[in-house]
């Protein structure tokens, strides 16, 4: 009897122990985010507060500045923010319809054997390292863009948009396809029974029903596009000032700014690059909050 | 089935091409409208595509200092500029873009002969001899920096080797500029059975020549290994001060602020910075004054440079 | 009528889009292969990246016969049993006798040196004279120098250009990153699926995971530099890079494991409890074993992610292509710098405009990733069969 008790007790302790281990592992994710915020924000926000050892910089000038010239002490990321938004928006504008139709193709239209080819092909697109997209862009896309450009260079917003479009395709296709497949069969059958054609069913019934999935896909695509660095660094042109006025203008983006100069930066310059990362981080936070809202609403339905 | 596959492949190819082409065309129309309304419609004909390096690059700092712009109280770099982040990409970019002008290390020009062309500056050809006798103006030193207290015999031997006839010959073979007329041969008997690791790093421009130098040094002393992390001139100096690199390298002159910590410097060799253009470009000469005008945005047309 | 036209139009658009997506892939992969394929060879895979020069001492004790099949432009030395041929501007060893003194060559520290076909001979020092070998050197003089004396010193360069050090470094990165992220990710997923009750804590954990998944890799790079390289003082090293990747992988790891755990039918757990097993027993004996294939798929896909990652490694592992071996002790060490395949590919393009090298590295990565994808698909297939 006494032995049983102690055995039971040990069991409870063991259960508790493992519960603790699992919880700890899960909390590492939270800890990581906390550490990233502390480190990045700590260094990145320091220049905006008085008492910074390398001198202070006005936050307003930083966020609205249209010039990034470290040698003359000007650190404005305003134009990069706008350019990053332009590039992301452009990639979404071109990429989403293509991705949407491709997902419809795989899930609804294509014969099984063809879907079996297209799907892995698009997955493979996701597996190509971003550096190689950069090299591809550098060697193929910019010369192509140059043919149409009024400027003498192919490095442009358009080149960035094309590269990003290719890169967000697989993300969106995968999410949208899953969403389309999750639409109950009865919806489609109902529509078809009412005399609608297959295409009509897809556009009037299936896609609206998969709306929240599609939105999720788009938001994830936005996240991927805004954070991409190595693929665009070789095709963006990266000037030190200026919002893109045309699609053929050279652009500097938030991410490329960091990757270009971090190797050299010290003191205030380095801190300002971390500030750039803070801006990126805030973008990601906003995107995630929007995503959470969408998923919540999707769940309510 | 096979025919089907082939057909679909052809379809894929044409579609992907035409989509790209269509994108280009429709956007061009829009662009022409906007171009008219904006202030500076840079037309393709004869516009100079100015290429510079990223902020912090040793090559860029040296270039700007020699030409005399973008410093304190000086005219800033033009806003109409393409930034490329390495000697290699500048070379490739200039090789592919007919209207571009860029600047690269002589070492890079040496490696890319044929695909890019070096301009004469003030009528002086970009050759090592002209840099040595001071005629070619756009030149900078490759500096080696170290903290004396961090050095062991291996580094001391390497420093001596770099300054010897044998070391200078290697620097010479790799396209940098040295005066090896007075140097003495390296006496390796002083250093018996050296062993250890040469921990080096810094400028990306000096990477290839320092590696060539170190390779020869390690051939003389097979128990010595080397390492070179190309993290940039500033990082090279910074890491030499804190001891991460025993020997740091910079492709520009060392600033006074960097010397405060007791850093020792040694000029490894000189390197010219060549102004490079596409081989199809007919312009052959540029004056230092014109370089400044081009890089500060006062000259924007190739016609202003052609005589 | 108009409905039919509309339908057809939409149908066409759908086909076109799919064709475009696949076309892009064909274009990109085609580009990579066409640019890099000529570089791919066994030497490319297994050679060192940097070339290495050695001064070797050779002692000859017999005369050697020239092989019958020697090209006319080759220079043969009876003294050493070796044939050299001018390739572009350097002399390459094209043939060596099995007993040639080159097989017994020693360097300046009296260590044996392996010289193989394809190495370049740059200089010959014999009887106090020194002869440099390049395309301007008189060929007769070379042969004379080679045969002049029984003892001579040769400067030999083994050609680099291979990616072996980067392959090793990349594999070590995979190892480190998985070693940390797999256990943490799996345990965390178990917590979320099997233990957690809906509430604030779970929401916080989920939100944190989502944020981690969204952070751009360049920001991870900055963080890794600050946290691992500087604060924990690991220096630019494989370990610092691996730990940075650990955090980057965590959300993927958690998500795939969660999915795998959720697929395990509730009835399995109930049956286990019914037989008197406790929670830990149920987990370790029933739930995990049936979820393992799903988890494995997640792990395999993560490997692909690590191999392709570059921005997060740019500031954390270094740029010099060498094996992560401590030069003093000769042991593998995770605290050594190294460089991964993708980082080197970027630097190649940036510093020397070497698109071919980058593309060749790309081919290797694509083949590995493609194999991994196939592998994971196979496992997934088996898994779904086993569960039915």
Q: Give the pLDDT score at B307.
A: 58
Q: What is the mean pLDDT of residues A236-257?
A: 91
Q: What is the mean pLDDT of residues B94-113?
A: 90
Q: Which chains share 3+ C-beta pairs under 8 angstroms with B?
A: A, C
B6-38 per-position pLDDT tens digit: 445 444 444 444 444 444 444 444 444 343 333
Q: What is the mean pLDDT of residues C75-95?
A: 86
Helix (H, G, I), strand (E, B) or coil at C315: coil
What is d(CA C96, CA B197) in angstroms, rounded to the nearest whole number?
A: 33
What is d(CA C131, CA C150) in angstroms, rounded to the nearest whole number?
A: 16
Q: What is the mean pLDDT of residues B170-197?
A: 84
Q: Give the pLDDT score at C140.
A: 85
Q: What is the mean pLDDT of residues B139-148?
A: 93
Q: Give the pLDDT score at C128.
A: 79
CB-nearest partner of B12 from C22, C236, C349? C22
Q: Which of the four CATH numbers 1.10.3720.10, 3.40.50.300, 1.20.1250.20, 3.90.105.10 does domain A77-300 have?
A: 1.10.3720.10
CB-nearest partner of B31 from A70, A150, A155? A150
What is d(CA B161, CA B219) in angstroms, rounded to the nearest whole number?
A: 12
B245-285 per-position pLDDT tens digit: 999 999 988 988 888 888 999 999 999 999 999 999 888 89
Fold of C52-158: Pdz3 Domain (2.30.42)
- Which residues have CB under 8 Å from C226's CB, separation 6+? A39, A40, A43
Residue C61: pLDDT over 90: no
CB-nearest partner of C235 from B9, B89, B244? B244
**Domain spans, chain C:** 52-158, 164-387
C154-194 per-position pLDDT tens digit: 889 888 888 999 999 999 999 999 999 999 999 999 999 98
Q: Give the pLDDT score at A301.
A: 46
What is d(CA A212, CA A291) in angstroms, rounded to the nearest whole number?
A: 10
Q: Give the pLDDT score at A4.
A: 62
Q: Give the pLDDT score at C386.
A: 58
Compute the count of residue pairs across chains A and B with CB atoms less than 8 Å apart: 123
- Which residues have CB under 8 Å from A106's CB, separation 6+? A115, A118, A119, A122, A173, A177, C18
Helix (H, G, I), strand (E, B) or coil at C313: coil
Backbone angles phi, psi at B247, to 5 degrees: -125, 125
Residues of A in contact with C18 (CB under 8 A): 101-102, 105-106, 110, 118
CB-nearest partner of C211 from A127, A203, A285? A285
Mean pLDDT over the full length of chain C = 88
| DSSP symbol at A47 | G
Is C362 touching A (CB cutoff 8 A)?
yes
Listed residue (C148, C165, C146, C168) closest to C156, CA to CA: C146
What is d(CA A122, CA A107) in angstroms, rounded to the nearest whole number?
A: 13
Give the CA dihedral B2, B4, B9, B15, nearest 10 degrees. 170
- CA A221 to chain C, closest CA, distance in angstroms equals 10
Using the beta-carbon criterion (under 8 Å), do B83 and A248 form an inter-chain contact? no
More confident residue, A145 or C136: A145
Q: Give the pLDDT score at B286.
A: 92
- Cβ atoms of residues A146 and B99 within 8 Å: no
What CATH architecture applies to the domain C164-387? Answer: Orthogonal Bundle (1.10)
Q: Give the pLDDT score at A3.
A: 57
Q: Give the pLDDT score at A127.
A: 84
What is the H or E stretch that residue B25 is in?
A: helix B2-37
- CA A157 to chain C, closest CA, distance in angstroms equals 19
C213-239 per-position pLDDT tens digit: 989 999 999 999 999 998 998 888 999
Q: What is the mean pLDDT of residues C302-315?
A: 90
Mark which residues 232-291 of A lie under 8 Å from B by CB. 233-234, 237-242, 245-248, 250, 252, 260-261, 263-266, 269
Q: Give the pLDDT score at B39.
A: 37
Q: What is the mean pLDDT of residues C273-302?
A: 87
Q: What is the mean pLDDT of residues A174-180?
A: 92
What is d(CA C53, CA C92) in angstroms, rounded to the nearest whole number?
A: 13
Q: Give the pLDDT score at B34.
A: 41
CB-nearest partner of C24 from B16, B86, B221? B16
- Cβ atoms of residues B233 and B202 within 8 Å: yes
Residue B57: pLDDT over 90: no
Q: Give the pLDDT score at A102.
A: 94
The share of chain A scoring above pLDDT 90, in percent, equals 57
**Domain spans, chain A:** 2-48, 77-300
The share of chain C scoring above pLDDT 70, in percent, equals 98
Q: Give the pLDDT score at C263.
A: 86
Listed residue (A290, A288, A280, A285) closest to A81, CA to CA: A280
C117-132 per-position pLDDT tens digit: 888 988 888 887 888 8
Length of chain A: 301
Mark which residues 209-248 of C lie under 8 Å from A by CB. 209-212, 214-223, 225-227, 231, 247
Residue C332: pLDDT over 90: no
- CA C168 to chain A, closest CA, distance in angstroms equals 18
Residues of A in contact with C195 (CB under 8 A): 19, 22-23
- Cβ atoms of residues A169 and C385 within 8 Å: no
What is the H or E stretch that residue B140 is in?
A: strand B139-146
Q: Distances in Å between the alpha carbon of B237 and those of A104, B58, B269, C316? A: 56, 11, 17, 18
Residues of A in contact with C378 (CB under 8 A): none
């Amino acid at each position: 009897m006494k032995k049983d008790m102690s055995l039971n007790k040990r069991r409870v302790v063991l259960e508790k122990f493992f519960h603790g281990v699992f919880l700890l592992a899960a909390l590492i994710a939270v800890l990581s985010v906390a550490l990233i915020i502390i480190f990045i924000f700590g260094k990145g926000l320091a220049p905006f507060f008085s008492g910074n050892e390398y001198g202070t910089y006005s936050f307003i000038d930083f966020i609205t500045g249209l010039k990034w010239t470290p040698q003359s002490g000007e650190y404005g990321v305003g134009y990069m923010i706008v350019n990053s938004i332009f590039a992301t928006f452009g990639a979404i504008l071109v990429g989403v319809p293509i991705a949407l139709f491709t997902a419809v193709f795989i899930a609804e239209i294509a014969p099984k054997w063809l879907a079996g080819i297209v799907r892995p092909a698009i997955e493979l697109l996701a597996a190509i390292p971003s550096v190689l997209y950069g090299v591809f862009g550098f060697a193929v896309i910019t010369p192509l863009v140059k043919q149409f450009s009024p400027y003498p260079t192919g490095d442009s917003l358009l080149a960035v948009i094309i590269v990003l479009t290719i890169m967000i395709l697989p993300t969106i296709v995968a999410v949208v396809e899953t969403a389309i497949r999750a639409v109950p069969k009865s919806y489609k059958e109902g529509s078809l029974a009412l005399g609608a054609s297959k295409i009509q069913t897809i556009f009037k019934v299936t896609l609206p029903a998969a709306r929240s999935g599609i939105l999720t896909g788009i938001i994830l695509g936005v996240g991927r596009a805004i954070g991409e660095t190595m693929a665009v660094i070789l095709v963006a042109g990266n000037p030190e000032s200026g919002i893109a006025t045309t699609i053929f203008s050279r652009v500097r983006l938030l991410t490329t700014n960091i990757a270009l100069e971090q190797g050299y930066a010290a003191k205030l310059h380095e801190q300002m690059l971390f500030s750039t990362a803070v801006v990126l981080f805030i973008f990601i936070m906003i995107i995630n909050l929007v995503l959470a809202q969408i998923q919540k609403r999707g769940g309510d339905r | 089935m096979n025919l089907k596959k082939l057909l679909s492949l052809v379809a894929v190819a044409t579609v992907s091409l035409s989509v790209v082409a269509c994108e280009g065309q429709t956007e061009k129309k829009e662009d022409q409208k906007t171009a008219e309304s904006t202030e500076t419609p840079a037309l393709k004909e004869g516009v100079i595509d100015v290429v510079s390096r990223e902020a912090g690059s040793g090559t860029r700092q040296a270039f700007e200092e020699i030409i005399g712009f973008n410093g304190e109280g000086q005219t800033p770099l033009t806003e109409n500029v393409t930034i490329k982040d390495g000697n290699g990409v500048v070379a490739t970019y200039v090789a592919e873009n007919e209207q571009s002008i860029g600047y690269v290390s002589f070492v890079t020009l040496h490696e890319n002969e044929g695909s890019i062309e070096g301009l004469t500056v003030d009528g002086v050809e970009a050759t090592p001899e002209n840099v040595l006798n001071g005629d070619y103006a756009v030149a900078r030193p490759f500096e080696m920096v170290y903290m004396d207290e961090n050095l062991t015999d291996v580094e001391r031997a390497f420093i001596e080797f770099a300054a010897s006839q044998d070391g200078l010959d290697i620097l010479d073979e790799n396209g940098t500029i040295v005066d090896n007329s007075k140097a003495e041969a390296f006496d390796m008997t002083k250093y018996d059975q050296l062993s250890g690791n040469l921990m080096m790093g810094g400028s990306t421009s000096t990477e290839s020549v320092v590696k060539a130098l170190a390779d020869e040094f390690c051939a003389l002393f097979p128990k010595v290994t080397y390492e070179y992390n190309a993290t940039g001139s500033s990082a090279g100096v910074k890491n030499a001060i804190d001891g991460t690199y025993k020997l740091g390298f910079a492709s520009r002159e060392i600033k006074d602020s960097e010397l405060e910590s007791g850093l020792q410097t040694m000029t490894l060799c000189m390197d010219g910075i060549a102004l490079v253009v596409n081989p199809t470009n007919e312009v052959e000469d540029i004056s230092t004054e014109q370089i400044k005008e081009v890089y500060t945005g006062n000259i924007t047309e190739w016609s202003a440079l052609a005589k | 009528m108009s409905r039919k036209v509309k339908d057809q139009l939409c149908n066409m658009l759908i086909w076109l889009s799919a064709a475009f997506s696949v076309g892009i892939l064909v274009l990109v992969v085609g580009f990579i292969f066409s640019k890099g394929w000529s570089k791919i060879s066994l030497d490319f895979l297994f050679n060192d990246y940097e070339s290495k020069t050695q001064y070797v001492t050779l002692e000859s004790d017999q005369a050697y016969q020239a092989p019958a099949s020697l090209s006319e432009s080759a220079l043969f030395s009876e003294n050493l049993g070796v044939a050299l041929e001018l390739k572009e501007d350097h002399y390459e060893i094209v043939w060596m006798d099995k007993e040639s003194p080159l097989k017994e060559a020693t360097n300046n520290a009296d260590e044996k040196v392996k010289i193989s076909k394809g190495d370049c001979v740059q200089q010959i020092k014999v009887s106090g004279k020194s002869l440099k070998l390049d395309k301007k050197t008189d060929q007769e003089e070379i042969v004379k120098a080679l045969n002049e004396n029984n003892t001579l010193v040769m400067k030999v360069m083994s050609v680099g250009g291979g990616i072996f050090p980067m392959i090793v470094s990349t594999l070590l990165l995979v190892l480190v990153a998985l070693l940390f992220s797999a256990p943490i990710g799996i345990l965390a997923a178990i917590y979320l699926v099997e233990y957690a009750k809906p509430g604030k804590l779970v929401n916080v954990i989920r939100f944190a995971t989502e944020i981690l998944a969204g952070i751009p890799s360049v920001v991870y790079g900055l963080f890794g530099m600050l946290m691992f390289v500087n604060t924990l003082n690991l220096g630019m090293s494989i370990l610092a890079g691996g730990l940075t990747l650990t955090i980057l992988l965590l959300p993927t790891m958690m998500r795939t494991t969660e999915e795998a755990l959720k697929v395990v039918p509730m009835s399995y757990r109930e049956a286990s409890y019914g037989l008197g097993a406790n929670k830990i027993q149920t987990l370790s004996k029933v739930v995990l074993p049936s979820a393992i294939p799903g988890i494995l798929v997640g792990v395999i896909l993560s490997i692909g992610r690590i191999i392709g990652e570059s921005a997060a490694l740019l500031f954390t592992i270094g740029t010099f292509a060498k094996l992560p071996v401590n030069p003093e002790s000769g042991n593998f060490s995770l605290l050594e710098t190294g460089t991964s395949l993708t980082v080197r590919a970027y630097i190649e393009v940036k510093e020397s405009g070497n698109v071919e090298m980058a593309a060749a590295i790309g081919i290797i990565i694509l083949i590995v990733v493609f194999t991994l994808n196939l592998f994971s698909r196979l496992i997934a297939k088996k898994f779904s069969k086993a569960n039915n």
